[in-house]
Amino acid sequence: MSLLAAFFRMVRYPNLIYIALTQFLLQYCVVEPVLQNSGSVPSLSFPHFLMLCISTVLVAAGGYIINDYFDINIDLVNKPEKMVVDKIINRRWAMAWHTILNMTGVSLGFLVAFQIGQFYLGFVQVLCTLLLWFYSTSFKRQVLIGNVVISILTALSVVVVGFYEKQIYESFAAILSYAGRRLIQIIGIYALFAFLLSMIREIIKDMEDMIGDSKDGCRTLPIVWGVKKAKHFTLMLTWALQLLLAVIMIATAIKGWYAAVAYIAVFVSLPLGLKVQKPLAGAFQPEQYHQISTWIKIVMLTGILSMIFFKIML
C-alpha cells in the first residue's frame, strides 16, 4: 500500500465524504431554500461555507488519526490487516499530521467566525478537537461515555451549519421568526437522527471489537453489561429511531409530500428494520456485527440524501 493510500485510510476518507455531503446538502437543500422563502439569504457566502466545511472535515480527520494512535494495541487484535499507524505510517508522523490537521481546521473555523462577526463560534471547533482527544485517550474505554461523545460530535457536524446562520445566532427575535423556527426544527431533527444512528453504530462496533477491547482493559457496554443486555439497549435505540422516522413521515404526509414519505419508508425505515434490527437479534460473530455496521452507514447516507426533498418541495 502506498503512503498516500495509507494516509487516506488513516483519516477514514469515506466518513469525511459523509460529513462534507451532509453539510453541503443541509446548506443548499435546507438552509438556503428556507431563507429564500422568507426573503433572506444565507449568512455564509459559498467561500465561507466551503471554509467551514473544510474546517469540520480536517478536525474530524485529526480525530481519526489520534484514535488510531492510541488504539494500536486494540487494533493488533481486532483488525491487524487494516492497521496503518505504526505499520505503514510511524507514530511520530501520525501525531504530526494530527497536529497539522487540527491547527488548520481550528484556524479556518475562527477565520469564518471572524468574517461574520461572531468570533466565539470558532471555539466550536476547539471543543470538537478536545472531545476527540479525550475520547481517544479516556472516554472510549468507559461505559457509554465514549459512545455518547462520538454521537454528540456526529450531531454537532449537522448543527454547526446552523450555528453560523444569523437566523439562529443573531437575536432571540430572529430565532422566533418563521425562518428561524423552521431551521431549528429541521436541523434539530437531522441532528437527532444522526445522534441516535451514531449511538447504535458505536455500540455495535463495541460488540464487534470486544476481544481486543477487553485485552486492553476497556469497559465498553457489551463488556460491562454483557452482550445480551447491550443488544437489548441497542434495539431500544433502533425503535426510538423508528418512532422518530414515523413522526417525520406523518408530518411529511400532512404537508402532502408523499414522495418524501415513500422515500423515507423504503430507503431509511425499511433497511433499518430488515438489515439492522432483525439481524442484530441473532448476531454473535464479529463479521455479523461488521455487516450490520455497514448497513447503518448506508441508512445514514439515505437519511442524508432525504434533504434533497426540501430543495424540490420547499
Copy the grid coordinates of residue 231. Answer: 443488544
* Between residues 226 and 1, the one the model is more confident about: 226
- pLDDT for 195: 97
Q: What is the pTM of this model?
A: 0.94
- In this predicted structure, the answer to whether residue 167 has a pLDDT above a threshold of 80 is no
- pLDDT for 79: 81
As a whole number, mean pLDDT of residues 136-156 equals 93
- In this predicted structure, the answer to whether residue 172 has a pLDDT above a threshold of 80 is no
- In this predicted structure, the answer to whether residue 309 has a pLDDT above a threshold of 70 is yes
Domain parsing of the chain, residue ranges: 3-313
Whole-angstrom CA distances from 20 to 33, 57, 153, 172 are 19, 7, 14, 29
- In this predicted structure, the answer to whether residue 145 has a pLDDT above a threshold of 90 is yes
- In this predicted structure, the answer to whether residue 128 has a pLDDT above a threshold of 80 is yes
**Mean pLDDT estimate for the chain:** 92
- In this predicted structure, the answer to whether residue 1 has a pLDDT above a threshold of 70 is no
Band (180; pLDDT cuts 50, 70, 90): confident
Question: What share of the chain in percent tops pLDDT 70?
Answer: 98
Question: What share of the chain in percent tops pLDDT 90?
Answer: 72
- In this predicted structure, the answer to whether residue 162 has a pLDDT above a threshold of 80 is yes
- pLDDT for 38: 84
d(CA 272, CA 293): 11
Q: How many CB atoms neighbour CB 213 within 10 A? A: 23
CA nearest to 20, candidates 62, 50, 45, 63: 50
Write down the residue that cell numbers 448543527 correspond to. 159
pLDDT digits (tens, 9 = 90+) for 7-40: 999 999 999 999 999 999 999 999 999 998 888 8
- pLDDT for 171: 67
- pLDDT for 149: 96
- In this predicted structure, the answer to whether residue 42 has a pLDDT above a threshold of 80 is yes
Q: For the ranges 60-69, 77-86, 171-180, which has the lowest average pLDDT? A: 171-180
pLDDT digits (tens, 9 = 90+) for 192-240: 999 999 999 999 999 999 988 888 888 999 999 999 999 999 999 999 9
The amino acid sitting at 65 is I
pLDDT digits (tens, 9 = 90+) for 72-126: 888 788 888 888 887 888 899 999 999 999 999 999 999 999 998 889 999 999 9
Local structure of 89: helix, strand or coil: strand
Whole-angstrom CA distances from 76 to 69, 84, 113, 215 are 12, 11, 41, 11
Copy the grid coordinates of residue 18. Answer: 459523509
Whole-angstrom CA distances from 106 to 88, 123, 126, 127, 129 are 27, 8, 6, 10, 8
Q: How many CB atoms neighbour CB 29 within 10 A? A: 20
d(CA 150, CA 145): 9
Copy the grid coordinates of residue 309. Answer: 426533498
Q: Which residues of 144-158 are buried (b: 16+ CB within 10 A; e: fewer)?
A: bebbbbbbbbbbbbb
User: Residue 85's beta-bridge partner residues?
Assistant: 89
CA nearest to 141, candidates 193, 201, 86, 216: 216
As a whole number, mean pLDDT of residues 275-279 equals 96
User: Residue 89's beta-bridge partner residues?
Assistant: 85
- pLDDT for 313: 82
- pLDDT for 87: 83
* Between residues 170 and 62, the one the model is more confident about: 62
